[in-house]
Amino acid sequence: MTKRPAKKSFTPDASGPLNGVRVVDLSRLVAGNVLTLQLADFGAEVIKVEPPEGDTLRSWRVKDVETAWKVYSRNKKSVALDLRSDGGRAIVRQLAASAAILVESFRPGVLEDMGLSPADLHRVNPKLVIVRISGWGQDGRYRHKPGFGTLIEGYSGFASMNGFADREPVLPPMYLADCMAALNGYGAVMVALREVEVNGGMGQVLDLPLFDPLFSMLGPQAANYKLTSEVKVRTGSRSTNAAPRNVYETKDGHWVCLSASTQGMAERVMAKIGRPELVKDPRFATNLERVKNGVELDRMIGAFIAARDLAENLKYFDEAGVTIGPVYDISQIVQDDYVLEREALIEIDDPEMGDLPTHPVVPRLSGTPGALKSSAPRVGEHNEVLLKPLLGEAEYAKLRQAGVISKGKKK
């Protein structure tokens, strides 16, 4: 990279609005880790309880570097326990006794089988907020099914709407179901925590399947189907709500995205591509007609854009006040002036990579911002500092010797 993101340092003593909130995180992979990252970035003490081989997210490696783990597990602490043992489960109960939140993503019923059911945990700590992440929910006919986001992205209706009509449905190329669930769960955790801390209420259980948040994002599709008896077809990047809206290729082989979802903006686009007469053309005079005739409208817009390179298009339409932007890949994003100036991408110290490019704390709060306190932990890095005071030196040594507490296994 010729341009570099801003370098940010860790501030281990930084204070945050969630200071004093202890979180016990038993989850694996993406959803739980993204949820607890939000808490950790704003000051919560997140204790990752990992098996001796580590969270399965660690196995998502690039050139043998745990990039996903590094990005999603900063600001957290790690203890490594064998939860198949009575001693390991007993330590979880002890940690839960001093925690405000516990997050888990086992298949429904597994927590109960371990003697760590919500009822068991609430006997230890009645104020505990318990987040139960799964694919399909804690009850219902599919509670036993694995909770992989891919299945939810297909089942929820998302994939059937995504892509082009003459091709196969398209799954998202990122962890969409997991991240949607994580951010929904983060908001719900704040509600539950407020009930405890402000209203004097008791802890509760958050049933957080990956399915519900993603399905809710489909918005009015069920209502639309009731009215029309029509299934929404795949339209690529074209919208069925407003036109014009699409991606268009430029002369130099790049792409731009354009949206004109208001009448004024649509009229401006038509004028700026040299076709002001379209404003009065019955095929394009209203949004409803523009949607119906979107293919023809896109042909005219596409021809105008295809005659100019990316930079020329962006300058021309930006000066005209038209909502257009580039379609970037990651090689362009890491060099983009907006991204770098806003510090939407930063670099932090990393022992393997030297500098780890990553996102900063999101969102940005003016009065109580989050902070970067520490890099993602090694497996069991905080065993001693967290568990020895909890158990006592003799018991800690005994459980360490027995393998209940682990320093991690070599991969």
Rounded to the nearest angstrom, the gap between the alpha carbon of residue 347 and the centroid of all alpha carbons in its chain is: 20
- ∠ Cα 200 204 208 (to 5°): 140
Nearest to 70 by CA among 98, 33, 100: 33
Length of the chain in residues, anyone? 411
The CA distance from 148 to 136, in Å, is 10
Q: Which two tokens stand for residue 337?
A: 């002036």
Note the helical H segments in 73-139: 86-97, 110-113, 118-124
Supply angle C-alpha 146, 149, 150, rounded to 5.
Answer: 95
Are residues 122 and 111 in contact, defined by beta-carbon separation less than 8 angstroms? no
CB 381 within 8 A of CB 407: no
Alpha-carbon dihedral angle through residues 364, 369, 372, 377, given to the nearest 10 degrees: -100
Rounded Cα gap, residues 375 and 411, in angstroms: 20
Active site residue 86: no
d(CA 5, CA 230): 47
Cis ω for the linkage preceding 220 (within 30 of 0): no
Pairwise CA distance, residues 97 & 26, whole Å: 15
Name the active-site residue from 55, 178, 349, 355: 178
Longest dimension (CA), the chain: 86
Tokens of 115: 């003697």
Q: What positions carry a catalytic annotation? A: 178
